[in-house]
A and B are shown apart, each in its own frame.
Chain A
Amino acid sequence: MKTAFRLAFLAAAAVLGFWLWTIFFPGPEKLVLRKISSLATTATFSASDSNITRAAKAGNLVGYFTTDAQIIFDAPGQAARTLSGRDEIREAAYGGFASLPALKVQFLDVTVRIGTDKQTADVNCTARVMAGDSKDYGVQEMHFQLKKVDGSWLISRAETVKTLS
């Protein structure tokens, strides 16, 4: 009985240890997932947020991208647009945060593939965006390419995917 109890205790300790290891030393997939989730949180703002908060969020948003990042937007019913580099992204972010009353961004069904060199990652997901107080939302399939820069995962390319061609 005593041996069984010790074995059970050891197994529980091993499981706890593994869980703590994944918390403190997460794998690249988890880090990329966190980055994408954090991007959605940063891009989300409510109508009650002050202009200072909005400006701060727009400024933070740029930090998710590499200096030479590209955003390619081509969705049905919208004008196609390409943003190149942090300056253009910053300008678009400030414009969006100032003109929209509120914005809620979610990335759903996220899949992460880490490159063989462990320095790049591809992410596919579905973006669900609610603008203003309306309950209507738009959905858009997205593809992100991320690069590891100085130990941190940054988005080097974000593009819309045409689900129906």
Chain B
Amino acid sequence: MQSANEPRPHWLRVLLIGRRPKVTLLRAAVLGVTCFVTFKFILLPIRIEGISMLPTYHDHQINCVNRLAYLRHEPQRGDIVSVRLSKPEGIANPSIMFMKRIIGLPGETVSFHNGHACINGQPLDEPYVKSSCDWEHQPIQCGPTQYYVVGDNRSMAFNFHTQGRAERDRIIGKLFL
């Protein structure tokens, strides 16, 4: 409580550190810790680079990876996930990740025929693929812990498009937005 005789603090001081500096400091500390935990362990901020996920995601778009998405259930078909390359030491997050869509689940066979993805020989409905595609590829069987991931931009040549089976432990999380 401020008494009537106590001089009012300068407006700049109020603006910078508030009327009660100790409370402001505590709030700043809580905010800092919350941000650190959120963006280090839960929502991993990423910048998308490349054209392999066009038109769903564009080059230089900002997004977040939800690292808790697969805590209660396993990845689903159609999920856009981030796949790590090498594993950094300690609690550090990977510097670079692949961002792909899951089309094949463990145990399934994935093939491409006339540009259409086929799961166990049956064509997969993919409304997110807007570009024309002429991919042809022999069936690939996913192992019990593998997911087949591929980008949405199928206008690229098959050999230049990074895709394939990703081990479950390489899938970091699901795209948040």
Contact = CB atoms under 8 A, between A and B. Distances in A.
B162 A111 contact: no
Majority SS at the chain B contact face: loop
Contact of A76 (B87, B95, B160, B170): B160
Interface stretch (A46-54, A147-155, A157-165): A157-165
Interface residues of A, number: 19
B87 A111 contact: yes
Nearest to A107: B86
Contacts of A142: 86
Interface in A75-114: 76-77, 108-111
A156 interface: no
Interface stretch (A15-23, A57-65, A123-131): A123-131
B163 A109 contact: no
A140 B100 CA distance: 16
B30 to A, nearest CB: 30
Interface in B65-116: 83, 85-89, 92, 94-96, 98, 100
Interface of A: 76-77, 108-111, 124-126, 128, 139-142, 161-165
19 contacts: A77-B160, A108-B86, A108-B95, A109-B87, A109-B88, A109-B95, A110-B86, A111-B86, A111-B89, A125-B86, A126-B95, A128-B95, A139-B85, A140-B85, A163-B83, A163-B85, A163-B98, A164-B163, A164-B164
